[in-house]
Amino acid sequence: MVPIIIIRYGELTTKSKNRIDFIKQLKINIKYALSDYQEIKIIHFHDRIELTNLSLAIMNDVINILVKIFGISSLSPAFSIDKNIEVLSEKVMSLFLNQDLTNAKTFKLFVSRSDKSFPLNSEQIIKIIAAMILKRTNLKVNVINPDLKINIKVNKEDIYLFANKITGAGGLPVGSSGKVLLLLSGGIDSPVAAYKLMKRGLQVQYLHFATPPFTLPAALKKVETLVQILAPYNAGSKNLYICNFTNLQNELTHLKKENYRIILMRRMFIRIANLFAEKYKIQALATGEALGQVASQTLASINAINIVATLPILRSLITEDKFDIINIAKKIGTYKTSILPFADCCSLFVPKNPVTQPKIKECQLLENELKQLIDWEQILINTFNEIEKRL
C-alpha cells in the first residue's frame, strides 16, 4: 500500500487550449508551498495532480498546506494498491472499517474504472465490497447522504482507495491572471479583498500608506502580520511596500474644505499607486472598498477617485455585506489582527462631516488652489521615490 494525495483542478477543467498553462502554474505553486518536503514528487495529468513519495507522518501537514492553494478544487489522501479484488477487500476493511465508526451509521461506495480490461466492472466491484461491509459491520447503505464515502478508482496500473474528499480553496492558481497592487490598510476589508483577488489567479502586491508619527509602529507591525497571514494564499508572495505619506498629509490640512480631505487624500494614494504600478509593470490597482460602507465609498466618491487612475481599479468587495466580509476574515485568519486598536492614516484623518457626494470639478479646484500654496505634485513624486520595501 503506497500513500498518495490526489489533487483535483475544479474550474481549471473548463479551460481549453490554455489549460496546460494554468496547470503548470498550479504545479509551480504547489512545489513552492511544499519546498520543505523536497522528497515529494509532483505529477500532473489532464484532470488531476498526484503527490507521491509521501510518508504517513507528513500527510496531515501537507494537506493543511494544500487547502490554502488556489486552483485546487478538492483533494484526497489515498492509497495505491495492487489490482486484485481480494487485496482491495482486505484494504477496505483495514483502512476504513477498523477505525472508530461511532458517528458513522451509513456508507456508500463510489467506483470508477478507467481500465476496462479489469475483469470486474464497477457494479460488480460495488456488489462484492458492499456485501462484505454489510456482513462484517453494522453499517447500512445510504446512497443519498452517507456518513462514510468509500472511493475506489481502477487505473491501468493500480487501484486508488480513498475516503471523503477534502474541499480545496478553488479558484485559479495565483499568478495565472497577472499581478495587482492592493492599497492595504490595517482594517478588516482590504485583507479580504486581497484573498478574493488571489482566488481569481492574481498575485497580490501591497502598498501601505503610513503617516509617522501620527500612526504608531504597532500599526505597521499589524499590516506586516496581515501580509504574513495571507502569504500561503498568495503562493508565498509577500511584497509589502510602505509609503511615508506624512508630508502630503500635512499639506492636505491646508484645504479650504475640510470635508473633502479624505477624497483628495485617496486621489493622492491612487496617483502614487499609478507611478508604482508603472514602474513594476503591474496591470491593475485594487482596494478593499465596498459600496456605501463609508463616505468615501459612495458612487460619487468612487468616481471622483477613479478619474485620476491610469489603470483599472479592482474592487473585489464592492457588493459585499459587511458581515459577509467579517466571516471571510475569520475564515482566513486575518480578523483578530485587523481589529487590533492601531489606527491607519485614513481613520486618523477623517473629518467630522466628510462629503458623500463630492464633485469632480470641486476636487480639481481644491487641488489647484493647494498648488498655489505648495508644489504638491513634486512632493507626491518625492513621496513615491521614498517608498520602501518592508517584506
Does 72 share its domain with 199? no
At residue 193's C-alpha, the angle toward residues 187 and 196, to 5°, is 145
Does 161 share its domain with 190? no
Rounded to whole angstroms, how far apart are CA atoms 118 and 83? 8
Rounded to whole angstroms, how far apart are CA atoms 141 and 145? 10
Q: What pLDDT is attached to residue 346? A: 65
Residue 153: CATH number of its domain? 3.30.2130.30
17 in a domain, yes or no?
yes
Rounded alpha-carbon distances, angstroms, from residue 34 to 30, 38, 152, 228: 6, 7, 27, 17
171 in a domain, yes or no?
no
Taking the alpha carbons at both ends of the chain, their separation in whole angstroms is 43
The residue among 81, 115, 134 that closes a domain is 81
**Number of compact structural domains in the chain:** 3
Burial (CB < 10 A; 0-12, 13-18, 19+), residue 161, is buried
Query: Cβ(52)–Cβ(91) under 8 Å?
Result: no
Residue 23: CATH number of its domain? 3.30.70.1510
In a structure prediction context, what are the per-residue pLDDT tens digits for the chain, which is 391 residues long? Answer: 899 999 999 887 777 788 899 999 999 999 999 999 999 999 998 889 999 999 999 999 999 999 999 999 999 999 999 999 999 998 888 877 666 566 788 999 999 998 899 999 999 999 999 999 999 888 899 999 998 889 999 998 899 999 878 999 999 999 999 999 999 998 999 999 999 999 999 999 999 999 998 888 999 999 999 999 999 999 999 999 999 999 999 888 888 898 999 999 999 999 999 999 999 999 999 999 999 888 889 999 999 999 999 999 999 999 999 999 999 999 999 999 999 987 776 666 777 888 999 999 999 999 999 999 999 999 999 999 999 999 9
The residue among 110, 132, 166 that closes a domain is 166
174 in a domain, yes or no?
no
Does 62 share its domain with 106? no
Rounded to whole angstroms, how far apart are CA atoms 199 and 167? 14
Looking at residue 94, the DSSP 8-state letter turns out to be I
Q: What pLDDT is attached to residue 348? A: 62
Does 259 share its domain with 334? yes
Does 102 share its domain with 156? yes
The residue among 140, 166, 192 that closes a domain is 166
173 in a domain, yes or no?
no
The model carries a pTM of 0.92
**Chain position carrying cell 454489510:** 134
Query: Cβ(299)–Cβ(291) under 8 Å?
Result: yes
Does 380 share its domain with 323? yes
Q: How many residues does the chain have?
A: 391
Does 197 share its domain with 333? yes
188 in a domain, yes or no?
yes
Does 46 share its domain with 106? no
Query: Cβ(289)–Cβ(313) under 8 Å?
Result: no
Provide the domain limits for residue 14. 1-81
Does 114 share its domain with 34? no
The three cell numbers of residue 64 are: 493543511
State the pairing for strand pair 203-210/179-183: parallel
Does 132 share its domain with 150? yes
229 in a domain, yes or no?
yes
Residue 363: CATH number of its domain? 3.40.50.620
45 in a domain, yes or no?
yes
Rounded to whole angstroms, how far apart are CA atoms 212 and 225? 19
204 in a domain, yes or no?
yes
Number of H helices, E strands in the chain: 14, 15
Does 184 share its domain with 137? no
Rounded to whole angstroms, how far apart are CA atoms 314 and 93? 52
Does 151 share its domain with 12? no
Q: What pLDDT is attached to residue 11? A: 82
